[in-house]
Amino acid sequence: AQSVSQHNHHVILSEAASLELGCNYSYGGTVNLFWYVQYPGQHLQLLLKYFSGDPLVKGIKGFEAEFIKSKFSFNLRKPSVQWSDTAEYFCAANPSNTGNQFYFGTGTSLTVIP
């Protein structure tokens, strides 16, 4: 069965620290990968997406992610976090033969301390 694993459940960082959130997916075929962010009280927003091509993708607000096919990973990174990055982060996989069926990880809660 398809699944997405996020290894970090809660992360606490000071402002300006670097961030890396892990994501691994389990699916043998072609898969599209996404990172979504959910700020408190708000809807899920897309940070970045990978469909094909350059495995290093850049998203909004200085976030980037690297697709490593051999490791089935799609880790999210940001060189320097800000207090406003405090939110819940979700990795999601969309097997390309399933339309828009997304499989989400359990999420990582990020708290950035000013």
Partner 1 sequence: ETGVTQSPTHLIKTRGQQVTLRCSSQSGHNTVSWYQQALGQGPQFIFQYYREEENGRGNFPPRFSGLQFPNYSSELNVNALELDDSALYLCASSMGGNTEAFFGQGTRLTVV
Residues within the interface to partner 1 (CB under 8 A): 4, 6, 32, 34, 36, 42-46, 49, 51, 90, 92, 94, 96, 98-107
- 64 or 88, CB closer to partner 1? 88
> Shortest gap between Cβ of 114 and partner 1 (angstroms)?
25
Give me the torsion for CA of 5, 11, 16, 22, rounded to 10°.
-10
Backbone torsion region of residue 41, taken as left when φ is above 0, otherwise alpha when ψ lies between -120 and 50, otherwise beta: left
> Shortest gap between Cβ of 104 and partner 1 (angstroms)?
3
Q: How remote is the C-alpha of 83 from its chain's centroid?
A: 18
